[in-house]
Amino acid sequence: MIPHRHASKVGSGSKTMDTIIKDILAIMAGGFLGALTVMAIQMTGHHFYPLPDNIDPESVESITAHMTDVSIGAMLFVLLAWFLGAFTGVLLAIKAAPIRKKMAGGLVGVIQWLMAIQTLNMLPHPMWMTVAGVLAAPLATFIAFMLVGPQPDEET
């Protein structure tokens, strides 16, 4: 039986189960904050650019049929949401992760990027928005990494 004080050690390194769990929680928190940011900005966009009454927001077919009628302002709100969702989520993950800061932030950026790509694949978008949407999360991730500067990948 392993003594309790050593039960949280993983391998022979200095990483403990506690820090691995904290890294995972940092990724989850960053992903949650990113999704919450996207939702809040998109809700704000709907305030300024409400959906027409004849669109059923629960129906992909209904939204698809009206995508050509969507204003540029509404699309820009979506791009802003994707950019800031990735940016805030990546920043939180980098700051909250005790050991693997770069990995945590990068993983959140990839998750946000994949969610944007999924949305782009579900509905037809103008080419300019597709290109901007594919670039938004990687650009936000890069800017977040540059803003925080070099991060040690060791617990301090």
- Mean pLDDT in residue range 105-129: 95
What pTM value is reported for the model?
0.83
Checking if the pLDDT of 10 tops 60, the result is no
Cα separation, 143 vs 121, in Å, equals 25
pLDDT tens digits, one per residue of 11-32: 545 558 888 899 999 999 999 9
Cα separation, 51 vs 78, in Å, equals 13
How is the chain split into domains, by residue range?
17-148
Closest CA relative to residue 31, chosen from 42, 43, 39: 39
pLDDT tens digits, one per residue of 39-56: 999 999 999 999 888 888
With a pLDDT cut of 90, the percent of the chain lying above it is 64
| Residue-level pLDDT at 156 | 45
What phi, psi does 9 have (nearest 5°)? -75, 140
- pLDDT-based confidence at residue 150 (cuts at 50, 70, 90): confident
Contact 117, 40 (CB under 8 A): no
- pLDDT-based confidence at residue 57 (cuts at 50, 70, 90): confident
Collapsing DSSP to helix, strand or coil, 16 comes out as strand
Q: 3-state DSSP helix/strand/coil percent for the chain, to nearest 5?
A: 70, 0, 25
Q: How would you class 71 by CB atoms within 10 Å of its CB: exposed for 0-12, middle for 13-18, buried for 19 or more?
A: exposed
- Mean pLDDT in residue range 136-154: 87
